[in-house]
Each structure stands twice: as structure tokens, then as C-alpha cells.
């Protein structure tokens, strides 16, 4: 029997290679902020942040204050930018831990400035402008006014100006036009700040979907999905070669021979057409394997595809292995990733489940162990996100100067 019930194997060497590939594509004058929000899209934020900094990222991006504080507590000393909204109750911690917040409106300026003065610090902030996403960010019409209020506060430093694309992944004419319009609006805002003598040193607009823009707008990119190789084909369009970082694995927990005409699972949604053998796998929708894949997907056992039969349940799924010779209890099973010459891609599972690949990796449950593999890194022995994070190893990694 394998050690774990279900585990996600995270290839840290692949992550490092992807960071270097994306950074090289962007060009020597463009820095890279590695996005590790949502637990690095299910890969484990602290280990991935360390590897990204080692591979050339100059900053780390997170979704909220809590994620930033967790990274600091894990020993990550590199610059951290909160891309989303900052919770007022956490401002004291954000300033204390040298975490950079993003300002979306004028409301938070006096509160952050007051806390920075109280702690005797000059707090870096970024200003986000809504150029068409319609979610967070100051309007383009008010961006200059808000920037002026920031620079008027002696305890604040306007380090960055940003926006977020709504349609950068689209290849159709409408999406391309929308992205170009957003670039134009952002550049107009940057020009208005420049005319007023306000020159934030960092300007960033490009997420993973926009790394193919030529030239890349700004001098900092914010890739997320590209770094984890979640949908490699998407980035080959831009001649950026990345590879998957995560594979999802389990083991055969139970084997049972059944006759033709046997019903399988809740609501008897599968009826065997022949005498066969059914393998029960200890993984279900509580672990992040979508219920929508019931009777639709397949797994890899001994290098062969085994179809999922019956419904995916909370803790288990069942697969037909009657056509595969020599299956035993304890055999390793691949749900996402490669085994032998075959590969199951998360993008394909997402298509079957009628969702996006990120929803699958972000949805991996807490029972799924993260096992880190690397040919060169000591922390590859960690078996769970955060395990050993305070015990040394790569704790305290700083950004490259």
C-alpha cells in the first residue's frame, strides 16, 4: 500500500523552469511577480513562493491579507503584494509585516497612512485602476485624484500602478479589441499621472493570458496559471513552453469481480454489460474530484485508461479495470498527470466537467497531501503544504536584488 490515501505530487523543478521560461519571454527589462493566491492554485503557496523567488521572481502576489500573513509566518521575506481588497482589521498586521496593499479607492488611504505613521514606517502601496474588468479598482476618471492623495501622505509611497484584463485569454477579435482598449485606458491614466509628476516605479497589467502581448505593457508581469503549467497548450500560442507542475494520484483500495448486469453506485447510474472487475479508489468530490465527472472521465492504472463508472461520491469513486491485466490493491492510480505513455490533463477533465482548469486545482481538498518532488531541493521531502515551513530549509528566502 502507498503511504497516502490521495496525494498531489508537485514538481518543483517544473515550476522553476516555467518561471524562467515566462520571465525570459517577457524580456530583460520586465520583472516577474509570481501569483500564489488560493494556496498557489492548490499547489501549496509557501513552497511554490520559495521556488519562484529562487527562479527569478522579484515579488509574490496573493489574493488577500490572510494569505500574505501566512507566507510571512512561513518565513517568506520577499516583497508580497496583496492584489485584492485589504480588510481594515488587518491593516496593522499588513504594515507590521511589510506587506504591500493594493488601493482600489480613496477610502483606505487615511487608515493605512495613519497606521504607517503609528508604526513609524513609510508604507508602500499600489493603485489599481478599473479599465474594463468591472470588479475592483478606481475609475480611470478618479485615478489621478487618488494618486495625488496617496503621494500627499508622507507615510505612504506609491510604488505601483496596475489594472486587470477581462479578456486576455480570448483569441477572437472581440477579446483582442477589449484587451487593446484596456491597454489604451491604462496608458492614458499613466500619462496623466506622469504629467502631474507622479511616476510609480512599477506598472503592471499582464496576467498569464497577456504575456504574449508585444510589447508587454508595463515593466512587471503577474503570471499565475502559466507558472503551474495548468493548460500548457494555451501558452504555446505565444511560444512560451511550460509544463504541468501538479499530478493527482491515489491507489486501489478495493477490488471486486462483478457479473454482467450489475448496477454500480448511487442511483444505479451504471449497469455493467459484461463480467468485469471494479476497483474502488479512496478519492471523491470532497477531495476535489468533480461530481460532474461521474460516468464521464477515466483514470490511469498500470498505464491504461480505466473509465469511471457510477457516480463520484464524497469519499470514493469506482472504475472498470476488467480489461487491465494484473491490477492489485495498492496499485498507484493517476487521476491527473502522466503514467507510462499516457497522460490525463487537467484541462481535459475541466472540459468534461464543464468548468475551468483552475477550479479543479483550487478545489483540491485538505485530505489531499501535497508531496513535493525535486532533484535539487531539500524541501522536496515535505509531505504537506506548510509542514516544516518554520523548521528551516528554505525559510527566509529573499528576492534577488
Mean pLDDT of the chain: 90
Q: What confidence score (pLDDT) does residue 216 get?
A: 79
pLDDT tens-digit series, residues 13-68: 999 999 999 999 988 999 999 999 999 999 999 999 999 999 999 999 999 999 99
Q: Is the pLDDT of residue 397 over 50?
A: no
- Of the two residues 386 and 366, the one the predictor is more confident about is 366
Banded pLDDT at 100 (limits 50, 70, 90): very high
pLDDT tens-digit series, residues 285-311: 999 999 999 999 999 999 999 999 999
Q: Is the pLDDT of residue 284 over 80?
A: yes
Alpha helices, DSSP H only, in 198-261? 232-236
Tell me which fold the domain 246-344 belongs to: Lyase, Ornithine Decarboxylase; Chain A, domain 1 (2.40.37)
Distance CA 164, CA 179 (A): 10
For 396, the 3-state DSSP assignment is coil
- How much is the average pLDDT of 309-321? 97
Going through 192-316 in order, the beta strands assigned E by DSSP cover 202-206, 220-221, 246-251, 254-258, 263-264, 270-271, 276-281, 298-301, 304-309
Q: Active-site positions? A: 37, 266
Domain ranges of the chain: 12-229, 246-344
Q: What confidence score (pLDDT) does residue 386 get?
A: 40
Q: What confidence score (pLDDT) does residue 392 get?
A: 31
**CB contact set of 344 (below 8 Å; sequence gap of 6+):** 298, 299, 300, 334, 335, 336, 337, 338
Indicate the burial class of 322 (C-beta count within 10 angstroms; 0-12, 13-18, 19 or more): middle
- CA-angle at 40, arms to 37 and 42, nearest 5°: 115
The CATH classification of domain 12-229, taken from the options 3.20.20.10, 1.10.510.10, 3.40.605.10, 3.30.1490.20: 3.20.20.10
pLDDT tens-digit series, residues 137-158: 889 999 999 999 999 999 999 9
CA-closest candidate to residue 248, choices 266, 232, 230, 261: 230
Banded pLDDT at 234 (limits 50, 70, 90): low
Q: What confidence score (pLDDT) does residue 237 get?
A: 56
pLDDT tens-digit series, residues 364-377: 999 999 999 998 76
Residue 318 CB: number of other CB atoms within 10 A? 23
Q: Is the pLDDT of residue 190 over 80?
A: yes
- How much is the average pLDDT of 246-257? 97
pTM score of the predicted model:
0.89
pLDDT tens-digit series, residues 118-139: 999 999 999 999 988 888 888 9
Q: What confidence score (pLDDT) does residue 233 get?
A: 65
Q: Is the pLDDT of residue 319 over 90?
A: yes
Pairing of strands 304-309, 298-301: antiparallel
- How much is the average pLDDT of 169-173? 72
Banded pLDDT at 210 (limits 50, 70, 90): confident
Distance CA 333, CA 316 (A): 13
Q: What confidence score (pLDDT) does residue 213 get?
A: 76
For 124, phi then psi, to 5°, come to -75, 140
Contacts within 8 Å (CB) and 24+ apart, 176-179: 178/132, 179/210, 179/213
CA 358 to chain centroid: 7
CA-closest candidate to residue 358, choices 243, 240, 226, 235: 226
Banded pLDDT at 209 (limits 50, 70, 90): confident
Q: Is the pLDDT of residue 336 over 90?
A: yes
Amino acid at each position: 500500500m502507498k503511504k497516502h490515501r490521495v496525494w498531489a505530487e508537485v514538481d518543483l523543478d517544473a515550476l522553476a523552469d516555467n518561471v524562467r521560461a515566462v520571465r525570459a519571454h517577457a524580456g530583460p527589462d520586465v520583472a516577474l511577480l509570481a501569483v500564489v493566491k488560493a494556496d498557489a492554485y492548490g499547489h501549496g503557496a509557501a513552497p511554490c513562493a520559495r521556488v519562484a523567488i529562487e527562479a527569478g521572481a522579484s515579488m509574490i502576489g496573493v489574493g488577500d491579507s490572510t494569505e500574505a500573513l501566512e507566507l510571512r509566518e512561513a518565513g517568506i521575506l520577499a516583497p508580497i503584494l496583496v492584489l485584492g481588497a485589504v480588510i481594515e482589521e488587518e491593516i496593522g498586521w499588513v504594515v507590521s509585516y511589510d506587506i504591500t496593499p493594493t488601493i482600489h479607492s480613496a477610502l483606505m488611504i487615511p487608515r493605512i497612512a495613519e497606521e504607517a505613521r503609528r508604526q513609524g514606517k513609510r508604507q508602500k502601496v499600489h493603485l489599481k485602476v478599473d479599465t474594463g474588468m468591472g470588479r475592483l479598482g478606481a475609475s480611470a476618471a478618479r485615478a489621478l485624484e487618488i494618486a495625488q492623495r496617496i503621494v500627499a501622505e508622507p507615510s505612504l509611497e506609491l510604488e505601483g500602478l496596475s489594472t486587470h484584463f477581462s479578456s486576455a485569454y480570448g483569441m477572437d477579435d472581440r477579446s483582442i479589441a477589449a484587451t487593446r482598449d484596456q491597454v489604451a485606458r491604462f496608458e492614458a491614466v499613466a500619462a496623466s499621472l506622469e504629467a502631474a509628476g507622479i511616476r510609480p516605479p512599477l506598472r503592471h497589467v499582464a496576467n498569464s493570458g497577456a504575456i504574449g502581448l508585444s510589447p508587454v505593457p508595463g515593466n512587471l508581469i503577474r503570471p499565475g496559471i502559466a507558472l503551474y503549467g495548468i493548460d500548457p497548450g494555451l501558452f504555446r500560442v505565444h511560444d512560451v513552453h511550460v509544463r504541468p507542475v501538479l499530478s493527482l494520484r491515489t491507489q486501489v483500495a478495493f477490488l471486486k469481480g462483478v457479473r454482467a448486469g450489475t448496477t454500480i453506485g448511487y442511483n444505479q447510474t451504471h449497469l455493467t454489460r459484461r463480467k468485469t472487475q471494479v476497483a474502488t479508489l479512496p478519492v471523491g468530490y470532497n477531495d476535489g474530484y468533480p461530481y460532474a465527472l461521474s460516468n464521464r472521465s477515466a483514470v490511469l492504472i498500470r498505464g491504461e485508461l480505466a473509465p469511471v463508472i457510477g457516480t463520484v461520491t464524497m469519499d470514493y469513486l469506482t472504475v472498470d479495470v476488467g480489461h487491465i491485466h494484473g491490477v492489485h490493491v495498492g496499485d498507484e492510480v493517476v487521476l491527473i498527470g502522466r503514467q507510462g505513455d499516457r497522460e490525463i490533463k487537467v484541462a481535459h477533465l475541466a472540459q468534461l466537467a464543464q468548468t475551468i482548469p483552475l477550479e479543479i486545482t483550487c478545489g483540491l481538498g485538505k485530505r489531499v497531501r501535497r508531496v513535493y518532488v525535486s532533484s535539487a531541493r531539500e524541501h522536496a521531502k515535505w509531505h504537506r503544504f506548510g509542514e516544516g515551513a518554520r523548521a528551516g530549509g528554505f525559510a527566509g528566502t529573499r528576492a534577488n536584488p
